[in-house]
Structure 1
Amino acid sequence: MTGLTTHILDLTLGLPASNVTIELYFQEESSTEWTPLKTAVTNEDGRLDSPFLSEKELKAGSYELVFHIGSYFRSKNINLPNPPFLDKIPVRCNIVDIPGHYHVPLLVSPWGYQVYRGS
């Protein structure tokens, strides 16, 4: 797969995180505004059914993925404070090499997360 993809793993349950809403934004180099591009929901494998952006749609610039993880953990009946410690996790990355594959995995628990450029 090429383009921009993601994958969420729930470290608390040791499973892929399904039914997580993710928003994608783009920022032009000459702007301070973030433009909404797409919203998607993860499948049973914690992935999107297709790339967030295909290789053809991908362009150089700054992207922000916003993972709605608070509502995911509330749906798992985990005892969380209200509001939860982590609710929406923004991840900003810059894409410079086109064409290419940019994979942004998120490892998450109600109390922390890790993100990296995957393969």
Structure 2
Amino acid sequence: MSSQLSTHVLDTTLGRPAAGVPVTLAVLEDGRWSGVATGATDDDGRARSLGPAQVPPGWYRFTFDTAAYFAATGQVGFHPEVVVVFEVVDDSHYHVPLLLSRFAYSTYRGS
């Protein structure tokens, strides 16, 4: 199943995709976050099918369990969790990459 929302995590410390990062997708409804889907990144660091094929406009968030990833790869990281909140305004695809290192992270809207 393909989702309107996807993510990709790259470990910039190790210079490779971050496989096995637990990811949760939630939506803001009536002022509260509600879980939509959970999963983990694949061997290429991607979560392609996280959530439904289409989502209504609104605020969404990806929560990345970076503590679990760092532990699994023998690293000690500064950020045990990364939360990325973004707004869906139309029915186009929303790809939200995460560039992760032990001490920093960056994100953007990808294609």
Q: Note closer, same or farther for the CA distance 1:66–1:2 as it changes in structure 2 (3 Å cut).
A: closer
Tell whether 2:67 aligns with 1:70: yes
Tell whether 2:105 aligns with 1:94: no
Structure 1 unaligned regions, length at least 5: none
Aligned-residue offset at 1:54: 4.0
Tell whether 2:59 aligns with 1:59: no
Indicate if the aligned counterparts of 1:2 and 1:100 stay in contact, CA closer than 8 A.
no
Aligned-residue offset at 1:114: 0.3
1:99-114 mapped onto 2 (5 Å cutoff): 99-114=91-106
* Aligned residue pairs, count: 110
Secondary structure, aligned partner of 1:34: strand
1:42-57 mapped onto 2 (5 Å cutoff): 42-48=41-47, 50-56=48-54
Indicate if the aligned counterparts of 1:70 and 1:110 stay in contact, CA closer than 8 A.
no
Aligned-residue offset at 1:110: 1.3
RMSD in angstroms over aligned alpha carbons?
1.4
Structure 2 unaligned regions, length at least 5: none
Structure 2: distance between partners of 1:117 and 1:70: 23
Structure 1: distance between partners of 2:3 and 2:22: 21
Q: Corresponding residue for 1:34? A: 33
Aligned-residue offset at 1:53: 2.9
User: Structure 1 length normalisation: TM-score?
Assistant: 0.86
Q: Which has the larger radius of gyration?
A: 1
Structure 1: distance between partners of 2:52 and 2:21: 20
